[in-house]
Amino acid sequence: MGMPGYEVDPELISRSGGGIRSSAEQLKTDWAAFQQELSGFGQPWGTDDIGSLIGGCYQAIYEVAVECYEENVQRLTEDADVVTAVAVNYTKAEQSNVMEVNRVRDVLG
pLDDT at 105: 84
Residue 41 located in a structural domain: yes
Q: Euclidean distance between the first and final Cα of the chain, in Å? A: 25
Residue 79 located in a structural domain: yes
pLDDT at 108: 86
Residue 27 located in a structural domain: yes
pLDDT at 6: 77
Kindly report the pTM of this predicted structure.
0.74
Residue 101 located in a structural domain: yes
Residue 68 located in a structural domain: yes
Domain tally, the chain:
1
What's the domain range around 46? 10-108
Query: pLDDT by residue (tens digit) across 46-85?
Result: 989 999 999 999 999 999 999 999 999 999 999 999 999 9
Residue 4 located in a structural domain: no
Residue 2 located in a structural domain: no
Length of the chain: 109
Q: Under DSSP, is residue 41 helix (H, G, I), strand (E, B) or coil?
A: coil
Q: What is the mean pLDDT of the chain?
A: 91
- Compute the distance between CA of residue 83 and CA of residue 79 in angstroms, rounded to an integer: 6
Higher-confidence position of 64 and 42: 64
